[in-house]
Amino acid sequence: MPIHPVSSGLAFAVTSDFLQSPTTTFAPAGTPAHSVVGLSWLVYGITGGIFLVVGGLLVYALFRFRHRPSSPNADQEPAQVYGSNQIELSWTVIPVLITVMLFLATARVIFSTEHAGKPPEALDVTVIGHQFWWEYRYPQLGIVTANELHVPVSDPKHPTPTYLTMSSADTDHSFWIPRLAGKMDLIPNKVNTMWIDPEVAGLYLGQCAQYCGTQHAKMLLRVYADTPEQFAAWVAHQQQTASQSPDAVEGKAVFEHNACISCHTVAGTVANGRFGPDLTHLASRDTFASGAVPLTRENLRTFVDDPSHFKPGVLMPPMHLNQHDLDLVTSYLVTLK
Amino acid sequence: MSEAAVIPQAQVGEWKLPSKGVVGMACLIIAEAAIFIIFVVAYLYYVGKSLSGPTPKEVLEIPILTSICLLSSSITVHYAVSSLHKGVRAATSLWLALTVLLGGIFLAGTGMEWYKLIDPNDGHAPLTIRTNLFGTTFYSLVGLHASHVIIGLIMLTLALIFSLTGKLNSMHTEKLEVLSLYWHFVDAVWIIVFLVVYVFGR
Amino acid sequence: MATQTPVPAAVDQTTETAPRRLVFEVLQDWISTTDHKKIGMLYIGYSLIFLVIAGFEAMLMRIQLAFPNNHAVSPQAFNRLFTMHGTTMVFFVGMPILFGFGNYLVPLMIGARDMAFPRLNAFSFWISAFGGLLLYFSYIGGDGMYGAGSAPDVGWWAYAPLTAHAFSPGHSTDYWTLAVFLSGIGSVGTALNIVTTIISMRCPGMKMNRMPLLVWLYLSMSLLTFVAVGPLTAAQIMLMLDRYLGSHFFDAQAGGSAVLWMHFFWIFGHPEVYVLVMPAFGFASEIIPVFSRKAIFGYTAMVAASIGICFVSLSVWAHHMFTVGLGPAGNAFFTLSTMAIGVPTGIKIFNWLATIWGGKVHFTTAMLFAVAFLFQFMLAGLTGIMLSVAPLDWQLGGSYFVVAHFHFVLVGAILFMLFAAFYYWYPKMTGRLLSEKIGKWHFWIFLIGFHLCFDLMHIPGMLGMPRRIYTYEADRGWFLLNFLVSTGAGIQTIGTLIFVFNMVWSYFKGEVAGPDPWDAWTLEWATASPPPAYNFATTPSVASRRPLWDLKHPEDTDGQYE
């Protein structure tokens, strides 16, 4: 149950500003999200209009035709009206027309989003969903990373969208960054595709939107839309193998003599496990555990000691290292920039 | 608010409604058909998609004899009902016995087919429900049908026993007719299963 | 022209004297009964107990979600709570309570003595009841994924492959599968009974186009049940085969498809929600005319719309799968079919509105709930139209917008109409009226709680909050809204408790009702309250849709206008 009245109150005040939610669907920053918002105005307009008309008539009817006990013919039954074919016809035809119009407008957006041509400058990223983290592979660039997706900003005049090819290694997941696009599911044995083209550089947040198990709530998404310079620098860095800091030789030994290497990959070392996130450039990320934990030395240490401290039910088991080895391994991990 | 209830008694001419048994069985048939359709859909969805293992063409033989037996049993059960309607006990027992026999042959044939699939002697890989998608969808669909045949045979055998021990008379015609509707349904499902599994799917 | 045909009638002057019975005798009577009225009340009582339990589960979830990164409830427990809440509400509250009302009312409204198959009726109830007990036994039975308490935690749709042995070891998923399977058998049994009763046991003169609309709606929902429950039963058999015999229906490793489960589930799941809502339409079609003092407007159109809804509802299922990758043609088709179902549904709302128009509206508690139903069902339909637009669903699907939408239907439409049905038919079932005074408190408190909770709930969805998450980050801007939503849930709890109090208090102290407290027009009001075991002293025979109107207004009978 909630903690301090003070910190709750503060949190209340700060976060009650839901008008500035980083995941609002009303602040689109990419073409797919824009086309949804555009369509939504039409939809809200029509449904709002229906609500006002029908709701208004209902309110009026309830007021005008209420039983008034004091009126002279209060005990008489009102005139019994059984129906009217013309009226039935009219309120069948009008909704049908509205439906047809709405459908045509919708079909247009469906086809334009899903059949969008792929420009040659598009970046390909393969996304594989896992319980409870995101694997990202850039086949054109030879990069494998996890949890924090870097894509180039897309200038509408010379679009450089990112095309995501998605599947799952285990259960169903769903990739949802509301400001960039609608969601698309990641399903084992099925390949889905979607595209994003962030028009403003910055960090876009989201999270898994299909229940996938215990830690579904903490399978967060972070998409970094980089300027061309930032993106080039990031790519160059990621393409390198893991840094071999002399400070971390002992820690590296601990890492490589434990079961770590059977689940994790650190490029250029013997660690080549595929079950867990790629750690080659772990320390270059802002967060770990799929966006759930800020990346600090202390947090890393706690996580390695007992992952369920942050994410109860996460699939990484506690490693049961002694304090000394824990410190060494943490020192090693923070050098993996 | 009136103190005593008043029951309308309008003048109404002749008033005849469909029989409860027939309507009830029709409802049951619709519900069961919905279940079967899904298993058929699964079969069709997975046709040709097995990643390994024997294919239908390799291991399935068209069960002509047993199918003829099962479908004929619809005719025999129909005659059982009309005999009962006429009150001819001996004929009713005979037709019911034939129905049970023909159904029994079908079941035995299915059993033998499965035995050969699971434990083949002719070099083919064995096929079980866990072998591949074909095994999964084959055994579940044919097995679901076979379980319905078994239930039908139990009911028909009971009817036969009642007939043989003289407890059945023409007043029970409608009940036997309702049972025969179920049996016709089982046969109709077999036609579909036969076409999907042994004709189209091979 | 009014013809002066006197309408013949019989006055029931039998007096009911019941000697006091021992507790044991009463219990034995209720446990072994095959009387449709008692079975109906067993269903209703049973569902109310589960309503309270599932409501408690909801309250726990709302307490957990009232604050970001809260620790009121563990992630594992939360995941079990939302699974159990959904499964319970659909299968062990919604279906039984609606079948309960159907059981009670349908034979009475068609002038029959009981259901077509009384023993099947009892069997259907007890097997459903057993299913519910089995589901809740899971909280203590066996060991689950992470130790004690193995209630299912796979969501009420139990998507594959989360339900495969690899991802759901232990037996929690099996409890879900078996409990729901048994409930399905019960549902099919009762639906079969309802259809057969309606077709084969109507009293003389009650042609199909003279049946009360409630009876038509129960006929439709029962027919739909046959077609809808089958796919779920089939899918559950396949799931059990996968889990225990190693088959590969949903096994991705062997080429199986997770999407196939979704198709099968939603081919059940979508018609299922129409099965749930159609009885509510039936209640509305009886209650609104009586308290507007006018016949229902457009009887034939209402029947046609109900049947139309049944058929169209079979073609919309993949609007639950817009984000699965069906392709643009698939998405467009299901958008169209889903929008199409708005047409007959809208027709019904317009007909109810036209019934009120020109009438004399009496705002009894039942009518208050019915009026709220009209507004709320309309809103639910409109948010449904929003979701039918596939691109909007790509954003709003799988989010709290959807949760708000379907609770608007399930609570705002169905539960509100159920409350109305309670206030309207409780006098018939018990012989006493529910207190109008307490009823007004119940209505207003519940209404405020409902709107505070579910109106606001749409917004976090539009702000990116997915469903089925045990907590959320503080920086998303969802805090205030979730807090208010949770408060609304608490207020609804209070409203519900007031309702329960009303039911109990009125049983002992309520005003005696007599056979026809509302001056209504259908056959259930032509017998005592509560009805004798045989329902009617003589079999009724009717000549119009409102036989009691004809008796009360012999100068202006309905028959000449039909």
Residue by residue, pLDDT tens for chain B (202 residues) are 446 788 999 888 899 999 999 999 999 999 999 999 999 999 999 999 999 989 999 999 999 999 999 999 999 999 999 999 999 999 999 999 999 999 999 999 999 999 999 998 878 899 999 999 999 999 999 999 999 999 999 999 999 999 999 999 889 999 999 999 999 999 999 999 999 999 998 8
* Cα separations in angstroms, C415 against B112, C71, C513: 54, 31, 24
CB contact under 8 A, C515 and B4: yes
pLDDT digits (tens, 9 = 90+) for B94-131: 999 999 999 999 999 999 999 999 998 878 899 999 99
Kindly report the nearest CA distance between residue A107 and chain C, in angstroms: 6
How confident is the model at residue C1, as a pLDDT?
Answer: 40
Amino acid letter, residue C403: V
Q: Cβ distance A162 to A141 under 8 Å?
A: no
3-state DSSP assignment of residue A77: coil
Indicate the residue of C195, C205, C514 with minimum beta-carbon distance to B23.
C195
3-state DSSP assignment of residue C319: helix
Q: Cβ distance C45 to C433 under 8 Å?
A: no
How confident is the model at residue C561, as a pLDDT?
Answer: 82
Q: Does A73 lie at the interface with C, CB-CB under 8 angstroms?
A: no
Closest C-alpha to C217, from C368, C413, C348, C51 = C348
Alpha helices in B2-132 (DSSP H): 20-45, 56-59, 64-86, 89-118
Q: Cβ distance C269 to C157 under 8 Å?
A: yes
Cα C7–Cα C13–Cα C19 angle in degrees, nearest 5 = 150
How confident is the model at residue A3, as a pLDDT?
Answer: 47
Q: Cβ distance A175 to A136 under 8 Å?
A: no
Q: Cβ distance C488 to C454 under 8 Å?
A: yes
Q: Which uninterrupted H or E stretch holds C103?
A: helix C95-109
Eight-class DSSP state of A139:
T
Q: Does C335 lie at the interface with A, CB-CB under 8 angstroms?
A: yes
Q: Cβ distance C120 to C38 under 8 Å?
A: no
CB contact under 8 A, B5 and C7: no
Instruction: Give the pair of three-digit tokens for residue C403.
Output: 């949760």
Instruction: Give the pair of three-digit tokens for residue C416.
Output: 């509100």
Cα C551–Cα C555–Cα C561 angle in degrees, nearest 5 = 90
Q: Cβ distance C216 to C288 under 8 Å?
A: no
Distance in angstroms (rounded) separating the CA atoms of residues C376 and C373: 5
| Full DSSP string of C323-354 | TS---HHHHHHHHHHHHHHHHHHHHHHHHHHH
Helices and strands in chain C: count of H runs, count of E runs: 17, 1
Domains and CATH numbers, chain C: 38-560 (1.20.210.10)
A contacts of C378 (beta carbons < 8 Å)? 50-51, 54-55
Count the alpha carbons within 13 Å of A35 in the hemisphere toward its beta carbon. Answer: 22
CB contact under 8 A, C67 and A8: yes
Q: Cβ distance A110 to C394 under 8 Å?
A: no
Eight-class DSSP state of C555:
G
Q: Cβ distance C471 to C396 under 8 Å?
A: no
**DSSP bridge pairs for C10:** B7
| Full DSSP string of A3-55 | --HHHHHHHHHHHT-GGG-TT-TTS--SHHHHHHHHHHHHHHHHHHHHHHHHH
What is the phi/psi pair of residue C515, to 5°?
-70, -30
Instruction: Give the pair of three-digit tokens for residue A207.
Output: 């999270």
Instruction: Give the pair of three-digit tokens for residue C46.
Output: 């049973």
Torsion C312-C313-C317-C322 (CA) sign: positive
Instruction: Give the pair of three-digit tokens for residue C243.
Output: 């889990």
State the greatest distance between any 2 C-alpha atoms of chain B, in Å, as a whole number: 85
Chain C residues 207-226 within an 8 A CB cutoff of chain B: 222-223, 225-226
Complex prediction ipTM? 0.95
Closest C-alpha to A150, from A297, A321, A281, A35 = A281
A vs C, Cβ pairs < 8 A, gives 311
Contacts of A59 (CB under 8 A, 6+ apart): none
Distance in angstroms (rounded) separating the CA atoms of residues B89 and C32: 37
**Which is it for strands B6-8 and C9-11: parallel, antiparallel or unpaired?**
antiparallel
Eight-class DSSP state of B9:
B
How confident is the model at residue A117, as a pLDDT?
Answer: 82
For chain C (562 residues), the mean pLDDT of every run of 10, in chain order, is: 56 65 90 97 97 97 97 94 97 98 98 97 98 93 57 94 91 94 97 98 96 98 96 97 95 94 97 97 98 96 96 96 96 97 96 97 98 98 97 97 98 98 98 97 98 97 97 95 97 97 97 96 96 95 95 89 80
A contacts of C464 (beta carbons < 8 Å)? 21-25, 176, 178, 205-206
Chain B residues 69-108 within an 8 A CB cutoff of chain C: none
How confident is the model at residue A116, as a pLDDT?
Answer: 82
- CB-neighbour burial class of residue A163 (10 A; exposed 0-12, middle 13-18, buried 19+): middle
Q: Which uninterrupted H or E stretch holds C259?
A: helix C258-292
Contacts of B157 (CB under 8 A, 6+ apart): B100
Indicate the residue of A51, A62, A115 with minimum beta-carbon distance to C379.
A51
Distance in angstroms (rounded) separating the CA atoms of residues A199 and C238: 47
Kindly report the nearest CA distance between residue B95 and chain C, in angstroms: 29
Contacts of B167 (CB under 8 A, 6+ apart): none
Count the alpha carbons within 13 Å of C275 in the hemisphere toward its beta carbon. Answer: 28
How confident is the model at residue C16, as a pLDDT?
Answer: 57
Torsion angle of C-alpha atoms C433, C202, C212, C270, degrees rounded to 10: 100
Q: Which CATH superfamily is domain B21-47+59-200 in?
A: Cytochrome c oxidase, subunit III, four-helix bundle (1.20.120.80)
Closest C-alpha to C419, from C539, C558, C283 = C283
Q: At how many degrees (to 10) do helices C172-200 and B20-45 cross?
A: 140
3-state DSSP assignment of residue A112: helix
Q: Which uninterrupted H or E stretch holds C262?
A: helix C258-292
Distance in angstroms (rounded) separating the CA atoms of residues A253 and C165: 36
Count the alpha carbons within 13 Å of A301 in the hemisphere toward its beta carbon. Answer: 13
Chain C residues 50-79 within an 8 A CB cutoff of chain A: 63, 66-68, 70-72, 74-76, 79
Contacts of C399 (CB under 8 A, 6+ apart): A209, C460, C461, C462, C464, C465, C466, C467
C contacts of A216 (beta carbons < 8 Å)? 79, 468-469
A contacts of C467 (beta carbons < 8 Å)? 211
C contacts of B144 (beta carbons < 8 Å)? 237
Kindly report the nearest CA distance between residue C236 and chain B, in angstroms: 11
Contacts of A97 (CB under 8 A, 6+ apart): none
A contacts of C484 (beta carbons < 8 Å)? none
Closest C-alpha to A248, from A145, A320, A336 = A336
Tens digit of each residue's pLDDT, chain A (337 residues): 444 554 555 555 544 566 789 999 999 999 999 999 999 999 999 999 999 999 999 999 999 999 999 988 888 999 999 999 999 999 999 999 999 999 999 999 999 988 888 888 899 999 999 999 999 999 999 999 999 999 999 998 888 999 999 999 999 999 999 999 999 999 999 999 999 999 999 999 999 999 999 999 999 999 999 999 999 999 999 999 998 888 889 999 999 999 999 999 999 999 999 999 999 999 999 999 999 999 999 999 999 999 999 999 899 999 889 999 999 999 999 999 9
Amino acid letter, residue C3: T
Indicate the residue of A36, A176, A210 with minimum beta-carbon distance to C391.
A36
What is the phi/psi pair of residue C326, to 5°?
-80, -15
First to last CA, chain A: 38
